[in-house]
Amino acid sequence: MIDQLRQRARELLTTGEAACIIGYADASVPGKATPIVITRAEDADRLVFHAACCNNLAAYLTRPEIRKLGTVAMVAKPADVRAAFVLMQENQVRPDDVKFIAVDVTPAGECTLLAQRTREELLDYLVKNVPPAELADDALKDVAALEEQKDGERWHYWQQQFSRCIRCYACRQVCPLCYCSRCVADKNRPQWIETSAHGRGNLAWNITRAFHLAGRCVGCGECERACPAGIPLMKLNRKLAKDVRDSFGGHAAGYAFSGEQLFAGYSPSDPNDFFE
Amino acid sequence: MAEFEPKIAAFVCTWCTYAGADLAGTSRLQYASNVRVIKLPCTGRIDFHFIIKAFERGADAVLVSGCHPGDCHYTAGNYHARRRWTVFRKLLEFAGIEPDRVTFAWVSAAEGAKWASLVNEVTEKARKLGPFTRYQRLNEIAEGEAER
Amino acid sequence: MSRIGVFICHCGENIAATVDCPRVAREAASMPGVVHSVDYEYLCSDPGQSLIKDAIREHRLSGVVVASCSPRMHETTFRRAAAEAGLNPFRCEMANIREQCSWVHADREQATRKAVDLIRMMVHKVARNESLCPIKVPVNKTALVVGGGIAGIQAALDIANAGHRVILVEREPSIGGHMAQLSETFPTLDCSQCILTPRMVEAASHPNITLHVYSEIESLTGFIGNFEVKIRNKAKSVDLGLCTGCGACTLACPLAGRIGNEFDRGLGKRGAVYIPFPQAVPHKPVIDRAKCLRFQAAQKKGIPVQDCSVCGKCADACPIAPRKAIDFSQEDVIITEKVGAVVIATGYELYTGGRPRPGDRYAGCGEYGYDDYPDVINGMQFERLASASGPTQGRILRPSDGLEPQTVVFVKCVGSRDNAKGFTYCSKVCCMYTAKHAMLYRHKVHAGRAIVFYMDVRSPGKGFDEFVRRAIEDDDACYIRGRVSKITREGGKLLVQGADTLSGEQVEVMADMVVLATAMTARHDADELARKFRAAYDKDCWLTEAHPKLRPVESATAGVFLAGACQGPKDIPDSVAQASAAAGKVLVLFSSDELQREPLVARVNRTAPPQYSTCTGCFACKAACPAGAIEVEDITDKAGNTVKSVARVNEGVCQGCGTCVAACRSGSIELCGFTDEQVFAQIDAL
Amino acid sequence: MTLPNQTPRSTCTLGYYPGCALHGTSKEYDISVRAVAAELGQELREIEDWNCCGASAGHSTNRKLAACLSLRNLALARQQNLKTVLTPCPLCSKQLLSAAAEVAANPQVRSEAEQTIEMSFGGGVRAINYIQYCTDSLDAISSRIGEGLRGLKAACYYGCLLTRPPKVVQFDDAEHPTSMENVVRALKGEPVEFSCKTDCCGGGFTQSHPEAVLRLSRKILENAKAAGAEVIAVACPMCQVNLDMRQAAIEKRYGISLGLPIVYLSQLAGLALGIDRKKLGLGLHFVSMPERGA
């Protein structure tokens, strides 16, 4: 599999279809992988793909330095593809500037290189074979469990979690969809979100982060993985993914690369029951 | 001791709810004095930051209100707002904020009576819930830090 | 550091009775940035306003808070005052301590505390208000008038006579509208067509008026002063350029006299190619493709109509040579025009009086047998019977057998003032035209009995009540106060059963003909039309004015005005008056080359390169904007290559709702007058 | 014509709610309805364990009681998988329909009622009156009709409840209905133009104020006779009883002669379909309908 992947990468670079490849290389720490950007065909052999390749590489698509390089090919797991699709939907990357070297991991844990290359093919593949991870039943179990508790208990639970937040914004940094060049959290006129890491600022920040990803989060789980304080951020993301699905005709993020963004539109038949 | 008087922030659109509140006035309808109205052109303008900030400034409850669906002066601002809140209110609830702390309502320029009873109702709900101590504790800590 | 002045109005006792104004003034004085704080009897009075002006000058105020009535009452007053004193009007704000405080709270202490809070919030806001200057937009001095009834004609003529170009669009083949169908008009009984037709001709021949008959509005885009309208010229199948209107084709049509004529409400007949009525303007025929034998045959065969050999008698009969004026191959044409203002004068529809058709918004009055008995007709049909140019040359003959009815029952309020059957509103003109009908009938059939069932007689208006009295006293129409429960047919006559609520008796009348005074209703597609023009409409689909009293001819959309019965039931004088009023508004708009708009619009921030703006160009705002005001701006470097695409607000189009602001995650859009900082400050002061 | 995947109404099983009248004073209505259905090959399945619909005394004295009574019948129908229930008596059909509407509109009423009857009702049961039944089966009927009623002149009398209250029953034009006429036409009878088709027969006053019944019923009968009717067609037991049973009294009281048979639409349908008079209970009326020789 890895040889095919490298072969494909070589092709893309030699034919000039892509100016660079964003992929994974083995990290200095054994068993770990690290993102890598290669521009020369001969470097293709450094590319790897295995279970430890977890970063969502779509995050790099919006980096200015990558943009400069022109057409990009990315080694893309389903979540990465979905993220890239959302970026296309939100005009952050020009669809034709991104080529995919799509990979997936079979339930058996076996890494495979997908035959699908174009975004249309991949969209079809996703729709047919890859249900949204963030909406998997067992993934939603802990959400449901929390929903069943009393609001007081929920409040207490999240306060405990958020109290550990040190506002390092690693969650924001790894998220492919937190691409704003100036995050609202860094806006100080006015300062909607207090910067100091106390309960009030942390609550405001974490609510904002979660809500800004509502209907957009592709459930790659990078934020939670990156969080040094181990805050279960995906629990918030899943909750929102579920509510969005239930409220807006089964919407799931990243299953379209064009068309209207969920929260830029509306339907007269949207839920109205919570209004007096 | 005296009955707890909740502090309530209301974010309303100028064309329907604000006009409705004026009508309640011209009709001399009496209602609870706890609400502080912040007038905005349209419910579409109401950012979720407003609601959080209101709690951070000690509001015990928040009221958000505008034109009925289909009646928006700008044709669709309220629809956009409704879609955002559909999800946002659930998020607040999930974070442990009692649903009754935030009330959403459509009040037209003709519904002065509805506005009056709405304010009373929201005030009553807030009274039942009592002071928003959860949030206010966060506030005390934050302000405490600020002083240091 | 801002220097804010706070002015608290007693509004006589209105505020002072429940709010302790002097105390409020004292507390306000200690608010951050407040350098001057006073209370006064009546701030909106001249001395009150000069008090504010003097303070602005004397204390070099940078912001003003007027605590008094609702800004919806006096914001303009006080902002003007501020401006006169040299302060930017948008640095003046109002705290509503009357409608939303003193009038709704009895407890003096609570009301006073609330007043203080409301003022503090405004003080905090004003400290962050910016000087704004009105937006200037160019005005295209061409007007679009939609609807060629009397209202549309009047508006078009007024605007055209002021020297501006007018585009007049009419859906039907002729202008004239409902007024052309009427026989005589109340209360003067002068002939409707005689007074209307000269106006029709004038409008059609006016050098400043471009007339599009048999045409409909496709779309309206743009904004006040700068609209773009797409008009569909429906295919008439007749070349109006060549046609002389001789009418030979209409006589030659094999279907001539076989199709119910809309103009005569089905009482008269026409052909497939027809001129709607003798005084039609333009006096040119159209082919009704849904009925025409040739078009139907072609459709069945699935071939282009010009290749179809069926009939074609109209073309044969056409004397124009060498090219015939009949043109089967004609197609709809879409034309685009740029206009600065729009007058909607699309008028009304008349409820038939029968059962509802699919999609109708009412239950209907099946019990009156309009659908079952030919001799039950509605008011407009009676007008056609009474009209000299009508199917009976003005003789009152009942449709079933053409005999002169000896007893005619007139039923008022059919469909109107009746929530169960029709509409809640009063149709306004029925009382008058029923009196007129009874009168006309008695004038034409001297021995006849005219019986009128009424709920109330509503005849306010010049000479109106006298007119009704005349019908009752001089022409002894018999008025019975009560509803008709149902109308059935017995032995060729109509049994009208009803109640006389004055005597408390049940009444039964054997009538030869029944005339239903049915409700005026909004056009069946009024809501669709309203959406096209971004105008608002009410539950009955009447277009609604911007303010029921103070802005009666303006719609919710700037630059779009309302005239005539599209806005509610009206008689001719009211429609004409409103049309001239709308024309007046258009002329005000056209009186200057640029128009000023309140600068309360959104703006996307701009920053230094390489960022240019914190906007990341996701364009959620663009999709969210109800007005379509957001544009894509490509920022290019010196070499001219695009470095970034960001959102930009078209100030002319922006309506200032702020939906884009809340849609922007990075907080890169501001709404002038309601900026994040201003709202933040208000919340901060809670 | 019907799509292959859906069976035409006339052949699928219909629920049947006779109500008290059809099991008692008006059993000929019941008999004839069943006979016609059998002739059309239509299975009528009577709701098992049905109870009073809550009309007359019930709904005027205790709304909730009335709602519960009807709701139970509906719930039973639902349980027994009867989606459409033929309810020949308009008092019953009105009760069932208004109960269904009420619980659909008001969840609280519904939950209360469900607790009371200790059954849940998910909706999805539709009560139809006998005219609707005939209208739905028109194809089946006309395909089996030969000479039919041979131009029998009938005045179609709807009475007060078949079309009212319009919002609840949503059937035909409340004041000027025509659907029964259409059925009679299909039976090759001749509906006469008749002014009193939705007038009150005085049914409500049978006990309290018989005089009113005489006056009101007389108007209807005379009007029908004047219109040239040979019979009055009805679809309501109350109407039938009043116009038929009181006719003699009316003739006596006003010194007029009427002799107008008051027959159920089902009986006319039966005759048209050539079913034997006895099987239709035609002999059970006070004013009996004469045999019409060929």
Q: What is the 3-state secondary structure (H, E, C) of C458-523?
A: CCCCCCHHHHHHHHHHCCCCEEEECCEEEEEEECCEEEEEEEECCCCEEEEEEECEEEEEECEEEC
- Quick one: A142 and A230 in the same domain? yes
Q: pLDDT value at position D1?
A: 33
Chains D and B touch (3+ CB pairs under 8 A): no
Beta-carbon separation of C666 and A182 below 8 A: yes
Is this complex's ipTM strictly greater than 0.90? no
Query: In this complex, is the C-beta atom of C374 within 8 Å of any C-beta atom belonging to chain D?
Result: no
pLDDT of D261 over the 90 cut: yes
Q: pLDDT value at position D294?
A: 44
Which band of pLDDT confidence, cut at 50, 70 and 90, is reported for residue A155? very high
Query: In this complex, is the C-beta atom of B31 within 8 Å of any C-beta atom belonging to chain C?
Result: yes
Within a domain: A158: yes
Beta-carbon separation of C485 and D193 below 8 A: no
Beta-carbon separation of C614 and A264 below 8 A: no
pTM for this structure?
0.70
pLDDT of B20 over the 50 cut: yes
Angle at alpha carbon of residue D224, lines to D220 and D226, rounded to 5°: 120
- Quick one: A150 and A209 in the same domain? yes
Distance from CA of D182 to the nearest CA of C (A): 14
Final residue of a structural domain among A97, A130, A163: A130
Q: Are strands C226-233 and C215-223 parallel, antiparallel or unpaired?
A: antiparallel
> Measured between CB atoms, which of A192, A198, A276 is closest to B141?
A198
For B48, the closest chain C residue by CA position comes to C662
Q: What is the mean pLDDT of residues C233-255?
A: 94
Residue A110 structure tokens: 């076996």
Nearest to A70 by CA among A6, A13, A24, A7: A13
Per the CB < 8 A criterion, the answer to whether D200 and D216 are in contact is yes
- Which residues fall within 8 angstroms of residue C520, CB to CB, at 6 or more apart? C348, C349, C350, C351, C416, C427, C428, C429, C565, C569
Which band of pLDDT confidence, cut at 50, 70 and 90, is reported for residue D178? very high
- Quick one: A20 and A101 in the same domain? yes
Nearest 5°: phi and psi at C594?
-125, 150
Query: What class, spelled out in words, does domain D147-284 have in CATH?
Result: alpha beta
Beta-carbon separation of D174 and C366 below 8 A: yes
Which band of pLDDT confidence, cut at 50, 70 and 90, is reported for residue D12? low
Q: How far apart are CA C402 and CA C447, in angstroms?
A: 17
* All chains having 3 or more CB pairs closer than 8 angstroms to chain C: A, B, D
Chain C residues lying within 8 Å of A192, measured CB to CB: 667, 676, 680
For C621, the closest chain B residue by CA position comes to B80
Domain encompassing residue A119: 2-130
pLDDT of B143 over the 90 cut: no
User: Which DSSP category does A275 fall into?
Assistant: B
Q: Give first-to-last CA distance, chain C, whole Å.
A: 21
Chain A residues lying within 8 Å of C621, measured CB to CB: 264
Q: Position C620: which residue type?
A: A
Beta-carbon separation of C626 and B76 below 8 A: yes
- Quick one: A74 and A148 in the same domain? no
Q: How far apart are CA D21 and CA D24, in angstroms?
A: 5
Burial category of A267 from C-beta neighbours within 10 Å (exposed 0-12, middle 13-18, buried 19 and up): exposed
Q: How far apart are CA A192 and CA C667, in angstroms?
A: 10
For A208, the closest chain C residue by CA position comes to C665
Given 3.40.50.300, 3.50.50.60, 3.10.129.10, 1.20.1050.140, which CATH number is that of D11-128? 1.20.1050.140
Nearest 5°: phi and psi at A221?
80, 5
Beta-carbon separation of C657 and B45 below 8 A: yes
Query: What class, spelled out in words, does domain C351-521 have in CATH?
Result: alpha beta
Domain count, chain A: 2
> Measured between CB atoms, which of A147, A192, A270 is closest to B86?
A270
Per the CB < 8 A criterion, the answer to whether C186 and C436 are in contact is yes
- Quick one: A9 and A51 in the same domain? yes
Beta-carbon separation of B31 and C121 below 8 A: no
Which band of pLDDT confidence, cut at 50, 70 and 90, is reported for residue C424? very high
Nearest to C485 by CA among C545, C418, C429, C423: C418
Residue B17 structure tokens: 């709810």
- Quick one: A157 and A142 in the same domain? yes
Burial category of A96 from C-beta neighbours within 10 Å (exposed 0-12, middle 13-18, buried 19 and up): exposed
> Measured between CB atoms, which of C100, C656, C658 is closest to B25?
C100
**Side-by-side strand order, sheet with D14-16:** D44-46, D14-16, D84-86, D126-128
Using a pLDDT cut of 70, give the percent of chain D over it.
95
pLDDT, tens digit, 9 for 90 and up, residues D94-109: 999 999 988 888 888 8
Q: How far apart are CA C226 and CA C213, in angstroms?
A: 24
Beta-carbon separation of A184 and C623 below 8 A: no
Nearest 5°: phi and psi at C484?
-90, 130
- Quick one: A221 and A179 in the same domain? yes
Query: In this complex, is the C-beta atom of A211 within 8 Å of any C-beta atom belonging to chain C?
Result: no
Q: pLDDT value at position D3?
A: 36
Per the CB < 8 A criterion, the answer to whether A6 and A45 are in contact is yes
Q: How far apart are CA C597 and CA C650, in angstroms?
A: 13
Q: Which residues pair with C411 in a beta bridge?
A: C453, C516
Q: What is the mean pLDDT of residues D48-72?
A: 86
Q: How far apart are CA A168 and CA A158, in angstroms?
A: 18
Residue range(s) in chain C whose domain bears CATH number 3.50.50.60? 135-233+332-347+524-595, 351-521
Q: What is the mean pLDDT of residues B116-140?
A: 95
Which residue's entry shows tokens 């019923």?
D217
- Which residues fall within 8 angstroms of residue C419, CB to CB, at 6 or more apart? none
C4-126 carries CATH number 3.40.50: yes
Chain B residues lying within 8 Å of A268, measured CB to CB: 69-70, 79
* Cβ pairs bridging A and B (under 8 Å): 124
Chain A residues lying within 8 Å of C611, measured CB to CB: 181-182
Q: Position D6: which residue type?
A: Q
Q: Are strands C63-68 and C92-96 parallel, antiparallel or unpaired?
A: parallel
pLDDT of D140 over the 50 cut: yes
Beta-carbon separation of C495 and D195 below 8 A: yes
Query: In this complex, is the C-beta atom of B12 within 8 Å of any C-beta atom belonging to chain C?
Result: no
Distance from CA of C684 to the nearest CA of A (A): 11
Chain B residues lying within 8 Å of A276, measured CB to CB: 103-106, 118, 121
Chain C residues lying within 8 Å of D227, measured CB to CB: 490
Residue range(s) in chain D whose domain bears CATH number 3.40.50.11810? 147-284
Q: pLDDT value at position D210?
A: 87
Q: Are strands A20-26 and A33-38 parallel, antiparallel or unpaired?
A: antiparallel
Distance from CA of D273 to the nearest CA of C (A): 30
Distance from CA of C614 to the nearest CA of A (A): 6
In angstroms, the Cα distances linking B72 to A18, A194, D133 are: 48, 33, 47
* All chains having 3 or more CB pairs closer than 8 angstroms to chain D: C
Burial category of C222 from C-beta neighbours within 10 Å (exposed 0-12, middle 13-18, buried 19 and up): middle
Per the CB < 8 A criterion, the answer to whether D170 and D128 are in contact is no
Q: Are strands C478-481 and C560-562 parallel, antiparallel or unpaired?
A: unpaired
Query: In this complex, is the C-beta atom of A212 within 8 Å of any C-beta atom belonging to chain C?
Result: yes
Residue C165: which H helix or E strand, with range? strand C165-169
pLDDT, tens digit, 9 for 90 and up, residues C486-511: 999 998 899 999 999 999 999 999 99
Q: How far apart are CA C523 and CA C528, in angstroms?
A: 10
- Quick one: A156 and A230 in the same domain? yes
Please state, rounded to an integer, the average pLDDT across all residues of chain C: 94
Beta-carbon separation of B57 and C117 below 8 A: no
Q: Which CATH architecture has domain C602-684?
A: 2-Layer Sandwich (3.30)
> What is the Cα C356 distance to its own chain's centre?
24
Beta-carbon separation of B81 and C659 below 8 A: yes
Q: What is the mean pLDDT of residues C384-403?
A: 94
Length, in residues, of chain D = 294
Chain A residues lying within 8 Å of B118, measured CB to CB: 276
Q: Which domains does chain B have, with CATH numbers?
A: 8-147 (3.40.50)
Query: In this complex, is the C-beta atom of B130 within 8 Å of any C-beta atom belonging to chain A?
Result: no
> Measured between CB atoms, which of A181, A261, A264 is closest to C616?
A181
Residue A22: which H helix or E strand, with range? strand A20-26
Beta-carbon separation of C490 and D195 below 8 A: yes
Chain A residues lying within 8 Å of B76, measured CB to CB: 266
Q: How far apart are CA D197 and CA C484, in angstroms?
A: 16
pLDDT, tens digit, 9 for 90 and up, residues B56-100: 999 999 999 999 997 788 888 999 999 999 999 999 999 999 999
Nearest to A99 by CA among A117, A121, A123, A80: A117
Chain C residues lying within 8 Å of D176, measured CB to CB: 366-369, 372, 486
Q: Which residues pair with C142 in a beta bridge?
A: C165
Beta-carbon separation of C686 and B36 below 8 A: yes
Nearest 5°: phi and psi at C107?
-70, 115
CATH number of the structural domain C135-233+332-347+524-595 = 3.50.50.60
> What is the Cα A112 distance to its own chain's centre?
20
